[in-house]
């Protein structure tokens, strides 16, 4: 089949270049601009990467107009209903759904790696008790490379998988210990008789004074939430992991960079910001329309947190599922869930009011993955400052799968964008006495 080409013509010089159109298996085609600068002397200009594909990938596919999200071709709705987070981790990392024995071996491999070197405990003592757990996560995950020099040959596929398993396995322990340290509680070790989600909740809330049984409702809800957060194409934190890894930095440093990028309220920090926004709304006693109007006011920095998305211009499919989980969980909790019902009802009413407003409709601004997730975390007893930690914990498999895919690509090279320079042209140094 002949190649499809597009031609760029420089009308100032009459020079032109034919660029190949690269065909996807799904989604938009891309124009291969790699030779544009060499042949025509121009860079492309695309701050925020609104129209730029930074890489090829086989892992996750999004269609923002249709609200489609697929991991390795499987629709997120089917994975959320039928799969488990461990099975999704295997799928993202290895590309296929596992056989039963493969899944068992994978899960045992994760459990066997869920402990931390005892020396890691002393890292926590270097943080203030009131340090945000995301700061602790960045520090401790980045420092993990100090413990694993034996498996840091990033060009060895098997050693890349060992590093990936280690990161997936240790994140719940690191995250839970961040919380325990802030509370001044003793660290709780992972247990092999518990599932991934059960282990995290156990390490978060178990007390040495009495037995702690994980609520199966919470464990199941958390497992699905982690599936929904596991990967999401080339978002800001995943792109950060890829760019960091492209310099051949070790995977622990690359994931630590991803955690830092995720922390921002425009990205993974939005789940925490949504609850703060909802509480502010409830405490203000003002009508929802007042806040919708503020979100529309260009002179007001206030935005509806948990609303809008760079890719989804229709419902974020994850938000639809999370809203259902939230509804079911609060109902199943009965009186215990009632205290969060007001938050949930306010969120649903805010969604209704905003989606009836032309400002939001005309800009295709819908609830995203962060809009309802925090209410579920609160119902589980997880504190506000741990919400983004949970996002980072869940997304680690996506980050490290994308890193592994990039490092396995023989054409992979260090990422090094250029710029549109608009600064001073050349000028001579002016001695102090002449300034
Ligand atoms: C995540 O990329 C991913 O895949 C991320 C993520 C993942 O799984 O990795 O999905 C996770 O980060 C979800 C997003 C969480 N962030 C928030 O909920 C913060 C609130 N949302 C906005 O800050 C914003 O919508 C972004 C950051 C999510 C998207 O920003 P864009 O794509 O740069 O959109 P934009 O800022 O260009 O907005 C377009 C217009 C603007 O108005 P105009 O200039 O056209 O007049 O929409 C407006 C914006 O002012 N707008 C909002 C709004 N979001 C966009 N107005 C009010 N409230 C909002 N939330």
What pLDDT digit, counting tens, does each position of 401-415 carry? Answer: 999 999 999 999 999
DSSP state at residue 24: P
Q: Cα–chain-centroid distance for residue 169? A: 17
Pairwise CA distance, residues 41 & 251, whole Å: 35
Q: Find the 303 Cα to ligand 1 centroid distance in Å.
A: 9
pLDDT in tens, 101-131: 999 999 999 999 999 999 999 999 999 989 9
The mean pLDDT of the chain is 96
Q: Contact 57/402 with Cβ under 8 angstroms?
A: yes
pTM, full prediction:
0.96
Nearest ligand 1 atom to the CA of 303 is 58
CA of 44 to the centre of ligand 1 (A): 23
Query: How many Cβ atoms from other residues are within 10 Å of residue 81's Cβ?
Result: 11
Amino acid 1: pLDDT: 65
pLDDT digits over 250-297, tens only? 999 999 999 999 999 999 999 999 999 999 999 999 999 999 999 999
User: Looking at the DSSP assignment, which residues form a beta bridge with residue 75?
Assistant: 70
User: In 66-185, which residue ranges form alpha helices assigned H by DSSP?
Assistant: 76-82, 85-94, 100-112, 120-124, 133-143, 157-183
pLDDT over threshold 80, residue 151: no
Cα(169)–Cα(172) distance, integer angstroms: 7
Helix (H) or strand (E) holding 74: strand 74-75
Query: Which residue out of 230, 309, 314, 372 has the highest number of ligand 1 atoms within 8 Å of its CB and is therefore the one to mutate?
Result: 309
Encoded tokens for 265: 């309220």
Q: Is 70 exceeded by the pLDDT of residue 152?
A: yes
User: Which mutation among 308, 322, 366 tests ligand 1's pocket best, with the greatest number of atoms within 8 A of CB?
Assistant: 308
Residue keyed to tokens 């701050």: 47
> In the chain, how long is the greatest CA-to-CA distance?
80
Q: Is 60 in the pocket of ligand 1 (CB under 6 A)?
A: no
Ligand 1 center from residue 125 Cα (angstroms) = 37
- Compute the distance between CA of residue 335 and CA of residue 341 in angstroms, rounded to an integer: 10
**Strand arrangement of the beta sheet that strand 68-71 belongs to:** 60-63, 68-71, 74-75
294 lines ligand 1 (CB under 6 A): no
Mean pLDDT of 27-49: 97
């Amino acid at each position: 089949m002949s190649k499809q080409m597009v031609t760029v013509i420089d009308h100032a010089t009459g020079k032109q270049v034919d660029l190949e159109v690269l065909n996807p298996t799904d989604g938009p085609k891309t124009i291969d601009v790699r030779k544009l600068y060499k042949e025509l002397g121009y860079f492309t200009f695309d701050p925020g990467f609104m129209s730029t594909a930074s890489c090829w990938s086989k892992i996750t596919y999004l269609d923002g107009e249709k609200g489609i999200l697929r991991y390795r071709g499987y629709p997120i709705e089917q994975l959320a209903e039928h799969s488990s987070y461990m099975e999704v981790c295997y799928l993202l990392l290895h590309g296929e759904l596992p056989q039963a024995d493969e899944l068992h071996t994978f899960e045992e491999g994760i459990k066997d790696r869920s402990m931390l070197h005892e020396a890691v405990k002393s890292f926590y003592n270097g943080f203030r008790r009131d340090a945000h757990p995301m700061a602790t996560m960045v520090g401790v995950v980045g420092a993990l490379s100090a413990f694993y020099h034996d498996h840091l040959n990033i060009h060895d596929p098997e050693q890349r998988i060992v590093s990936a398993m280690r990161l997936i396995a240790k994140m719940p322990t690191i995250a839970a210990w961040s919380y325990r340290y802030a509370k001044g509680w003793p660290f709780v070790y992972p247990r092999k008789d518990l599932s991934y989600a059960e282990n995290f909740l156990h390490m978060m809330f178990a007390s040495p004074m009495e037995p702690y049984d994980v609520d199966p409702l919470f464990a199941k809800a958390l497992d699905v939430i982690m599936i929904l957060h596991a990967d999401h194409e080339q978002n800001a934190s995943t792109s950060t992991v890829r760019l960091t890894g492209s310099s051949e930095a070790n995977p622990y440093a690359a994931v630590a960079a991803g955690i830092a990028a995720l922390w921002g309220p425009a990205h993974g920090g939005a789940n925490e910001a949504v609850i703060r926004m909802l509480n502010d709304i409830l405490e203000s006693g003002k009508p929802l329309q007042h806040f919708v109007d503020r979100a529309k006011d260009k002179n007001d920095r206030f935005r509806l947190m948990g609303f809008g998305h760079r890719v989804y211009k229709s419902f974020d499919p994850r938000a639809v599922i999370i809203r259902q989980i939230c509804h079911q969980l609060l109902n199943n909790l009965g009186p215990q869930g009632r205290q969060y019902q007001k938050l949930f009802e306010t969120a649903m009413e805010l969604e209704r009011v905003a989606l009836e407003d032309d400002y939001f409709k005309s800009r295709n601004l819908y609830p995203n993955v962060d809009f309802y997730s925090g209410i579920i975390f609160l119902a589980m007893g997880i504190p506000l400052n741990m919400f983004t930690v949970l996002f980072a914990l869940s997304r680690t498999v996506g980050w490290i799968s994308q890193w592994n895919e990039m490092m396995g690509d023989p054409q992979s090279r260090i990422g090094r964008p250029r710029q549109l320079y608009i600064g001073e042209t050349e000028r001579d140094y002016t001695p102090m006495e002449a300034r």
